[in-house]
Amino acid sequence: MSQETTRRFDAPQLHRQVVAILRAWGMPDESAEATATVMVETDLSGIDSHGVSMLMMYEKLLHEDRLKLDAVPRVIRDTPALAVVDAGAGLGHPAGLFALELAIQKAGACGIGAVAVGNSHHLGALGYYVRSAAQRGLVALMTTTTRTPVVAAAGGTTPILGTNPLAFAAPRAGGAELVIDMSTSVVAMNKVKAYALGGRDLPVGWVVDRGGRTITDASLAYSLLTTQGATLTPLGGSSTETGGHKGFGLSLMVHVLSGAFSGAALPLDDGDSDNLGHFVLVIDPNSGTGGGSPAGYVDDLVRLMSRDEPGVVIPGDPEAEAHTGRSRDGIPVPESLLEHLRAVCGRAGTDMILTPVG
């Protein structure tokens, strides 16, 4: 499969385009601006699977009457260090930002704050949220359940859990944050979609069909994943000998944190809404470090790992490099995705304003 032609667009223009679409769909201005920021920042960071390409899925959910874009997150349980939020079946970005700010407030008062969110939808890449906390000198962990079952338990072939990602961030004394953002499957499902949109073949081992055969055709793989005809392998691969059971165990942990406190849906639930669950934990290092410097410790740790090996890749470095390059040169968008965006704009009754840079 040959790679598809791409065009580049500057981030502010892409942001305006996303806002226009979300407003046309009925999302309030403030929520549309915040959601577009998360999506475009994700594309700037090179995570094409979770940015603007998600608009087609959001449109589908909206037309199926599963998504309420005018929803306002609300606290339904509140204690000094823990709260539970109902996202109102709205898009996850406003709910995720609301939960993050609430957890930060609680961490400021108690040293630690946790917020669970239920009745939500997709909220994009988690790295954006935890990075913003680390930029304020805080340590943050975030997890979420995901919509489509695509990962089988160790020894099984039936898709039962989603990609169930987690993200962690900590400040560094040197300025740049340490950010770890990953699915608990070997790759995110939306990355398979991004490969399909870009006309790229999948690496061997990412996706296997129900007979255990690997699939490298990205379009076929994505189609089978959405109909439970294939599975993504967990972190560690499909075998316990390579640690696949550990990746599945991490996925179970994420599901418990994200769903058990908020009443989010169990796997294979067929309710009217996705009812995804999110979980945010924030720690204020200034509240109980005994005079130590966590940011200094993290900086020393990172420097130690890369001190004598210039080729070492620290989590978050590829995203930071992509952000610098794409801020300068524009965000690449495959022609097939542009065609989808034109169609989305037409159905929404808003103009397609994107003009390539260069």
Instruction: List where CATH 3.30.1370.60 sits in the chain.
Output: 79-186+233-315
Q: pLDDT tens-digit profile of 169-219?
A: 999 998 789 999 999 999 988 889 889 988 899 999 899 998 889 999 999
The mean pLDDT of the chain is 93
In the numeric block, which tokens belong to residue 339?
A: 């065609």
CA distance 99 to 334: 33
Reduce the DSSP state of residue 66 to 3 states and report it: coil
Confidence bin at 292 (pLDDT 50/70/90) = low
Q: Is the pTM of this model over 0.75?
A: yes
Q: pLDDT tens-digit profile of 12-29?
A: 999 999 999 999 999 999
- One of 3.10.20.740, 1.10.10.10, 1.10.3720.10, 1.10.1530.10 is the CATH number of 1-70+317-358, namely 1.10.1530.10
Q: What is the pLDDT of residue 288?
A: 61
pLDDT > 90? residue 239: no
Q: Which CATH class is domain 79-186+233-315?
A: alpha beta
Question: Are 46 and 319 a contacting pair, CB within 8 Å?
Answer: yes
Confidence bin at 290 (pLDDT 50/70/90) = low
Question: Are 117 and 263 a contacting pair, CB within 8 Å?
Answer: no
Confidence bin at 321 (pLDDT 50/70/90) = very high
Question: Are 120 and 87 a contacting pair, CB within 8 Å?
Answer: yes
CA distance 330 to 350: 23
pLDDT > 50? residue 1: no
Reduce the DSSP state of residue 331 to 3 states and report it: strand
Q: pLDDT tens-digit profile of 114-144?
A: 999 999 999 999 999 999 999 999 999 999 9
Q: What is the pLDDT of residue 183?
A: 94
Angle in degrees, CA 17, 21, 24, rounded to 5: 140
Instruction: List where CATH 1.10.1530.10 sits in the chain.
Output: 1-70+317-358
Q: Are strands 230-232 and 151-152 parallel, antiparallel or unpaired?
A: unpaired
CA distance 358 to 352: 18
Q: pLDDT tens-digit profile of 243-254?
A: 889 999 999 999
Label residue 163 exposed, middle or buried (CB < 10 Å: 0-12, 13-18, 19+).
buried
Q: pLDDT tens-digit profile of 151-165?
A: 998 888 889 999 999
